Structure 1
């Protein structure tokens, strides 16, 4: 329960920040950024949230059910646009994969420089 509380507190804080910023940034992004900062600077350790985070990741399919059911409800209305929607999904999947690969490449390059003493913390 404590682990879930930490994760929910970050989510609620992110939503609160989003409201303060008048919705300029999504609350879920702000909440995850807050969690990252808490993990990076020490108030929250990985062990404080690891079990609950693993459980949520392993059961992530449940979080997509409402969206899938919503699409099924309006499928008759969007049936004519299915191919365009699929094209967008495929294109954005490739863009996401490319951005992820690029980010990993840069992170590995920086890690190698740090290991050789080229970058100071």
Structure 2
């Protein structure tokens, strides 16, 4: 019964997020608003972590099930997209490399800034 109550809390946040999205005329997606609402409720205390923890852990551990409809949808239209599969794979590889490069440069810059700040603090002492 505990799982059903916890699932009810999570579904209520999702439905409230969807309703809020409708009121905002779709300015923000309902799922984002629902998660934001859940976060605010957790931060400010009406909902405690133990009110949703076990069901949320179960959903996270079984997240692969939520990707099945998307994978099946791709398989359903594979005949239409197979002529462009090399271009799509090239885009995936290229964007992955760009993301990794941008992340590496960002980390490098942050490390250099942190090292410089620690040297300046050491010089002042």
> Would you call these one fold, judging by a TM-score over 0.5?
yes
**Hey, what's the Cα distance between the residues in 1 that align with 2:21 and 2:44?**
22
Cα root mean square deviation, aligned: 2.7
Distance 1:89 1:17 in 2: 34
Q: TM-score, normalised by structure 1?
A: 0.72
Between the aligned partners of 1:28 and 1:21, the Cα distance in structure 2 is: 13
Q: Corresponding residue for 2:60? A: 57
Matches within 5 A, 1:34-45: 34-45=37-48
Partner of 1:75: 78
Structure 1, unaligned runs of 5 or more: 110-121
Q: Structure 2: how far apart are the matches of 1:34 and 1:93? A: 35
CA 61–16 in structure 1, closer or farther in 2 if over 3 Å, else same = same
Aligned residues: 102
TM-score, length-scaled by structure 2: 0.70
Larger radius of gyration: 2
